Each structure stands twice: as structure tokens, then as C-alpha cells.
Structure 1
Amino acid sequence: MAEGSVTKFCTCRDKDTGKRLNGRCPKLRRPSGAWHPTHGRWSYQLELPRAVGEPRRQLRRYRFDNRDEAVAEREHALALLALAGGNNDLAVEIGDLLHQVKPTAPLPERDMIARRVKAGVPASTAKLLGDYLPEWLTGRQIEPGTRRSYDSHIRNHLNPHLGHIPLEKLRVGHIQAMFAAIADRSTAIEVARSSDDPAVRASVKGERITGAATMHRIRATLRKALNDAIGKHRLIEFNPAMHVELPSGKRPKARVWTAAAVKHWRATGERPSPVMVWTPEQAGQFLDYAEAHDLVLYHLYALILHRGLRRGEAIGLRDIDLDLDDAAIHLVQQITTDGYTPVTKSLKSDSSERTVTLDDSTVANFRSYLAMRARWQLVSGHTWVTTGLMFVQPGGQPWHPDTVTKRFDDLVEKSGLPPIRLHDLRHCAATYLKASGADIKDIQETLGHSTHNLTADTYTSVLHELETEREKANAAVALVPRSGRKAA
């Protein structure tokens, strides 16, 4: 390997031609031939490795106040090239890296390049995060819903805040600054929404607040992408997303629509929690209203309320999955959406694929529904659409998941009951099971939760509110004197 040379230069120009003299300037040396101590600056040049057939190239650096500095950097560059250990392809790669360094920028640290060489990571990587993330997403084989989530995180958060940073230079501080900016923007949106000025409120119309749970998912997307950059693509060797701390993204606790909560909601329109549960009396009122006003979907809503199915599981239930003799349903598939397009797919985990025992009331509801569906089929005749699905429209067509949700929301609004989401019927089922004496393990298996803790953390807190309502009811009854019993 050529050792290169160290010399002096200046910016003086020839008086006649105006061209720079560089190393030919007579002021650079004293009459004795020694270098002038103050005129000019030091530089070095070094022949860089090249691929076969490629032209020669040199590393030239002109920025040193004294010879020792120039020599030290030349030795540093030689040490980097020596990491190739006789491998010409790797030497060319390190040469590419040196050739790309800007004149005023320092050379890469030897230890960093040594670690990358040892790990098999390309030494000359300079890909921006904003270029890498879309390429990474394109190459992944994942569910459509997961892809949309990753794409949203990349487009709306990761690339706008971090896309300009080279992969290898991304640090924990960069990511923490991104989340701080996201949190600040969410605060600004909340402040603007509560403003008395209509123009201020209008300025954030359509903008969404990014909560703690979403920030955890954004970090998870980045963490996965960077892990693949390390393991699959061998582009980097450190994942800064692994070391970023965020506020807790705990699941919201389920709350009961107690009398006090309903009164506050009617006065302010505010819900105590994103996850709300009806009391058994309120649930009964809803089923009565649904049966009277939307008999076509009443049985599906009743199944979710009593047995805790997810929306996609109920819509995807097939005729062959129902066993009335054994009073059970076997959940093996679901119908969800990709954008607005319905998609049928298997359940995502072993715990989700399960057998759910049916109570007598639900068995009776199924028999009633099947009789009604048979009448639909007779009326439709040859136009009946055969899908094999349990819950269908009067012509046999499958339900669109969004339609099922929209009709539920419409029923809740018109019934005058305090609002809950369709998914909250599942929470109601779990709450009533726990209140009636079922243990957490039984509820976990009925709902198809993956862990015992998920079930306990989500539902245990609602029991106190139900018990409080029961105590109020008992106290009210005790005030009414009955034969053979004293008033309280």
C-alpha cells in the first residue's frame, strides 16, 4: 500500500497568469530550502484502492496548520485501509468511503469501521433513513392492516422528523426529539380545539392527536425497521430505537355507565373513558330496542354482548361453526377490512381460535335467527346468495363490517342510551361474566385473549362500579317496608 505524501501549499497566484501557484510558490520555502514556518498550510495525498478497470483516484486533504496534523490524519486514513486485510473488494469499499468525505469533515472513526467490517456491514453505507424505510416496507410480507399502520407511521411521523438523517448517524437523541415534537403538536391541537376563537379551532380541523399508545406503536415500527437493517440488510450495527423511553401507553380502563357518569355525560357530552360498559339494565334496554328496530342484526349484536366475540369473528362465523346440540361455536376465521374492502382470514393466534360454549338464551336466539333466515331464503328463491356464513343480509349477501358498526351506532344514538362502541359489547360480556362469578382464566379463554394479565388489567377495575350500583339498588329497596321485614 502506498504511504502517500505530505507537503505544503498556499493560495498565492501568479501575477501574470492569475493562476494559483500552490506548491510552486517561492514564499513556501526559506533560502535554505526549509519550509517557511508561517506561509501556507499543510496537506497530504494518498492513492486509494480501485476496482479493476477503474481510473486512479487520490485522497487529498488541505486543511492542516502544521505537518504533524497532516501526518496524523494520513496515518489514520492508512489505518482505515489496512482494515481490509488484503481483501481488495473491501479495500475499494473503504476507499469509496474516504473518497466521499467532505473536505472539511473528519474521517470516520477507525473503531466504528472496524466493528462494521467485523460484523459484515458495508463500510461505505450512507443511506438516509427516509430512503431506507419505504424500501424496507415494500420488501416485507405482512398483513394489509399492519402494512397500512407501518406506512402511516413512516409517512406522518418518521420520515418528516428523521428522514434526512443517515442510518448510521441516527441516535437516541434524534428519536427523543421527534417524540417531543409530536407531543408538543398534540398539545397545541388540544389547546386550539378548546379556543373561543372559531378561526383557531378551524386551524386544526381534521388534525389528529397522537397519544401515548400510538407513540409506542411508532417506536415499534422504527425498532423493527432498524433491527432488519442490522440483521437482514447488514447496514448498521446499533439500534437507537431500543433505548428510547416513552410515557406509559397503558390500555384505557373499562368504566361503567353509572348514574353519575350518565348525568355528567348528558350535561357535558364527555365520556369518563374511551372504553365504556353498560350496566346489565342498560344492556337489556339496548337488546329490546335492537330487537324492535333492527331484527336483521339483533341476533348478531346479542351474540357479541353475551359471548364476547370480536366484530370480525361474529361476521365471519360460518354455518359449520355452529353446533346447537353441544351448545357451542367454533371460531376459526374473521372478516375484517383492508381500507374499505372486506377480507376473510384466519384468526391471528392460537388463543383467538377457540370454542365458545353457548348459554341457553343464546342457543334460543340462534334457533330464532335460523328460522328467520330460512324464511328469507324462501322469499328470495333462486336469487338467494349462498355464502356459508351464519349472519347474512335478507338476500344472503355477507355483511360489510363497517355497515354492522354503523347500524349499531345508529341504534345506540336513537335508543337514548349512553354511547358505547360496538367493540365495547365485548367488554360488557367480560364484565358480566366476572360479576357473575367467572374467574379471569375462564374469561380469558372465552374472549380469546393471549394472556391472563391482559384480561385482568382490562376488566377487573369495573367490578367496583357494578358493585356500587348494586349497593345503591339494595339500599333503595331496603327503604321500602315489606311484610315481615323492618325498614332499614
Structure 2
Amino acid sequence: MAKRANGEGTMSRRKDSSGKTIGWRASVTVGIAEDGSQKRRWVSGKTQGEVQEKLRALQSDLHQGTLADTDRMTVADFLNHWVAHKEREGNKPNTVQSYRDTVNRYITPKLGRVKLEKLRPLDVEHMLTGLRRDGKSTSLQVYALRVLKMALQQAVRWQMLPRNVADAVKPPKMERQEMQVWDRQQVADFLKATEAHPLHAAFYLALMTGMRRGELVGLKWEDVDLDRARLTVRNNLVEVIGAPIEGKTRLKKATTSSVRLEVSTPKSKASRRTIVLSKGTVQKLREQQARQKAWREHAAEAWTEQGFVFTTVTGALVWPSALAKAYTNLVKEAGVPPIRFHDMRHTAASLMISVGIPPKTVSERLGHSDVAFTLRTYTHLYDAQREEAAFDIADLV
């Protein structure tokens, strides 16, 4: 009998111990293993006709390129491969770590044992239900679903799955939280209270430009042109979470991870931008330059020159977390409403909008990818401008 070609498929009876036919099964070859043996996909059913129909569907998927060898891979196995792929793609270290943590802590415990090819929308729904019962926030549920969708979409591109089953699942509805910003007087009070602090200029720059925390501590003097009142955002200083350091302990326990500083590029193409500075901001940066010069002279040989605008008194880098901690303490001392460090970015946007700076310019200064995102994010801040846009012909004649 002639050997069947790949994709032609085979069918056989399923029998019990007495030899009685209890069903049928069929398979098609989807690949060759390292030892030369065939890798096959199987279907089964009670009747020959049922299995023939399933076999035709398998053959159709194989010929269309939508049937791939998953080697009975579990969701956990696939997600580990996907995270490694995102790392090889050159994604930001903290982004990859975020994917890895989400996979290991929230997705794999719920779906890890499911065979990838058997994953269904209802399984994904059960994952979200489980996270909700575990007391996880809505935002975390939404992010976990987004990560899973991204991973399964890659499985479709790799032809490991015919479709992305997570696309059929709607994310939980999130209530939009009211944006917390300072008004002009609160901004003035905070800056006044921080004038003597070594990082005062960093806070001033954050409130006048909307620069992100990592962009501030990653700013170098070579990217600042005080004569032309401009700076260019080229760097982003990030704290990268890595593997634990052998032998290192904290509170008499072995550490579960390590953290290192890394000078990276900004988070997106739009984030690499040039910002025009006000006269007051230029003056603050000149004061920072003079302050740093005095530190350098006092530190003498202990000074470490790295070219950054904001440093410690010995020239060392300022960790983003240290900047945030200093900010939190200063907010308490200033007596202004407590808002997150990132909310200073929203405050900067609010100030720009309040003085009539066009949305496109606000978007460019903040490093948004497009002006539509800026308008959506700060739509409530433009309400007053919308009211002022109403006019009558009498106002013009």
C-alpha cells in the first residue's frame, strides 16, 4: 500500500478491550520532530462521519497555513517563549519585566495548564473572574487581558493558532478617575517651599515642561542650550529589575530581585523632543549649574563627572525613586494637596492649557504620539475654552 502524503490524514477505529468499536479517530502530520518522527494532530468522535468532518477541517487549516505544530504546548510554555521573544525584540527592560510579572503572577496561575490549542474565550473569562475574586483591581485585570491578547496575537502570526480567542472577551469597565492637579497658587506654594532643596530645579522643570521623572534625571548638560532657551530630551534614566544577587540579603532574607540604573532612550519616538524654555526656567537651570559647580569644587577628587544636570553632591546619578521620595516629603512640608509625581505632568498640561497654548504645542511639549491623545486626556480642561468659543456676529461687527 502506498504511503500517504503529508496532510492526507489517516483514520482508524477506537476499540474497547473486547474489540468492539467505540469510536473513531484521525490525524494529520503537521511537522517532523528532531528524531525524525512525525508530529501529528489528532481528532476523535463517536461516528465515522463526525471524525471525517473534523479531519477535513484539519486538512483545510493545514493547507491554509493556519494549522501549526504546538507540540501539545501549554499556555504557560507559550507565554514564556513570548516573553523571551519580546526581550529579543529590544523592548524596554522594564516593559519586558512588566510582561513577565503579569504572566507569572496573574495569567499562568489561572491558565498555565491549559493546552494552547484548546484555550477558549470562556477560559479567559474565568481568568478575569478569578482575578476579581482575588481582590485584584480593575486596572490590573484590564492589563492582564491586554498582555494575554498581545501574546495570543503573536501566536496567530506564528501560525500556532487560527485566531485570537482573547479578542472575544471584553475588558472590565473602568471608572475614569478624576485627574488630580494643582492650581496656580498651589504650584507657587510648592516651588517656594522647595527653593533651598538641591533638586528644586528638577521640580521647577517638571512643572514648566511636563517632563517625565526618568527624563528629568536622565537630562544631560550637552542636551541643554541655555543661550537659545532649549533642551532636547534624548535620555530616560530607568531602574531595571533583574535577577537577585547571590548572597545578598534584606531583613535577613535572600533578595528576590536586584535593581540597577540604566540610561535608556525615551519611551517613544514622540518622546524624543525639543522643548522651548521660559526665561524663568532658564534662570533655574543656570542656578543649578552654579550649584553643581560649587559641589564639584567641594567634592574635589570624590566628584564623579557624568554630565548629568541633576546629581548628588558628589556627581552620582539621582535614582528616579529617590527623586519621587524627595518630592513626597517636600509636598508634606509645603502643605499643598498630595498628588503623585506623575500628576505634576498633568499639572504642567493644565497650566499650559490655562494660558491658551494650542493643543498641538501642548502635545509636542509633553511628548504625546498625537494631538488626539492629548485632547482625549485633557478634554475637561478644554471645557472653558469651548465656552469662550461661542460668539455672535455682533461681537465681530
- For normalisation by structure 2, the TM-score amounts to 0.79
Q: Is residue 260 of structure 2 the alignment partner of residue 356 of structure 1?
A: no
Local SS of the residue matching 1:456: helix
The alpha-carbon deviation at position 345 of structure 1 amounts to: 0.8
CA distance in 1, matches of 2:189, 2:274: 28
- Contact kept, 8 Å, 1:137 with 1:150, in 2: the verdict is yes
Map of 1:426 onto structure 2: 345
The alpha-carbon deviation at position 453 of structure 1 amounts to: 2.3
Alignment map for 1:388-467 (pairs within 5 Å) = 388-462=307-381
The alpha-carbon deviation at position 138 of structure 1 amounts to: 2.6
Q: Is residue 59 of structure 2 the alignment partner of residue 114 of structure 1?
A: yes
Q: Deviations over 1:390-410 (max 9, x none)?
A: 111111111111111101001
Q: Deviations over 1:399-431 (max 9, x none)?
A: 111111101001112222210111111111110
- Contact kept, 8 Å, 1:280 with 1:432, in 2: the verdict is yes
CA distance in 2, matches of 1:66, 1:225: 45
Local SS of the residue matching 2:275: strand
Map of 1:231 onto structure 2: 157
Out of 164, 179, 204, which is 2:113 matched to? 164
Q: Is residue 184 of structure 2 the alignment partner of residue 280 of structure 1?
A: yes
Map of 1:197 onto structure 2: none
Out of 116, 130, 135, which is 1:181 matched to? 130
- Report the AA paired with residue 262 of structure 2: V
- Contact kept, 8 Å, 1:304 with 1:314, in 2: the verdict is yes
CA distance in 2, matches of 1:359, 1:183: 48
Segments of structure 1 that go 5 or more residues without pairing to the other structure are 3-47, 52-57, 187-208, 255-275, 468-488
- Contact kept, 8 Å, 2:193 with 2:333, in 1: the verdict is no
Q: CA 1:365/1:124 → structure 2, altered by over 3 Å: closer, same or farther?
A: closer
CA distance in 1, matches of 2:93, 2:106: 20
The alpha-carbon deviation at position 102 of structure 1 amounts to: 11
Q: Bigger shift: 116-125 or 407-416?
A: 116-125
Q: CA 1:111/1:60 → structure 2, altered by over 3 Å: closer, same or farther?
A: closer
- Contact kept, 8 Å, 1:335 with 1:343, in 2: the verdict is yes
Q: Bigger shift: 177-186 or 357-366?
A: 177-186
- Contact kept, 8 Å, 1:116 with 1:236, in 2: the verdict is no
- Report the AA paired with residue 161 of structure 2: I
Map of 2:14 onto structure 1: 61
- Contact kept, 8 Å, 2:70 with 2:116, in 1: the verdict is no
- Contact kept, 8 Å, 1:49 with 1:88, in 2: the verdict is no
Alignment map for 1:269-348 (pairs within 5 Å) = 276-292=180-196, 294=197, 296-339=198-241, 340-348=259-267
The alpha-carbon deviation at position 158 of structure 1 amounts to: 1.3
CA distance in 1, matches of 2:17, 2:371: 66
Local SS of the residue matching 1:421: coil
Q: Bigger shift: 137-146 or 312-321?
A: 137-146
Q: CA RMSD in A?
A: 3.5
Q: Bigger shift: 379-388 or 313-322?
A: 379-388
Alignment map for 1:371-390 (pairs within 5 Å) = 371-390=290-309
CA distance in 1, matches of 2:380, 2:56: 53
Q: Is residue 74 of structure 2 the alignment partner of residue 128 of structure 1?
A: yes
CA distance in 2, matches of 1:110, 1:250: 47
The alpha-carbon deviation at position 284 of structure 1 amounts to: 0.7
Q: CA 1:123/1:314 → structure 2, altered by over 3 Å: closer, same or farther?
A: closer
Out of 137, 156, 161, which is 1:210 matched to? 137
The alpha-carbon deviation at position 101 of structure 1 amounts to: 7.0
- For normalisation by structure 1, the TM-score amounts to 0.65
- Report the AA paired with residue 188 of structure 2: G
Local SS of the residue matching 1:461: helix
Report the identity percentage: 26
Q: CA 1:177/1:348 → structure 2, altered by over 3 Å: closer, same or farther?
A: same
CA distance in 1, matches of 2:61, 2:223: 54
Q: CA 1:278/1:316 → structure 2, altered by over 3 Å: closer, same or farther?
A: same
The alpha-carbon deviation at position 50 of structure 1 amounts to: 12
The alpha-carbon deviation at position 332 of structure 1 amounts to: 0.9
Q: CA 1:63/1:417 → structure 2, altered by over 3 Å: closer, same or farther?
A: same
CA distance in 1, matches of 2:313, 2:380: 40
CA distance in 2, matches of 1:441, 1:156: 40
Query: Which structure's CA Rg is the greater one?
Result: 1
- Contact kept, 8 Å, 2:360 with 2:371, in 1: the verdict is yes
Segments of structure 2 that go 5 or more residues without pairing to the other structure are 242-258, 387-397
Q: CA 1:372/1:389 → structure 2, altered by over 3 Å: closer, same or farther?
A: same
Q: Is residue 146 of structure 2 the alignment partner of residue 247 of structure 1?
A: no
Q: CA 1:317/1:454 → structure 2, altered by over 3 Å: closer, same or farther?
A: same
CA distance in 2, matches of 1:442, 1:168: 48
Q: Kindly tell me the number of residue pairs found equivalent between the two proteins.
A: 356
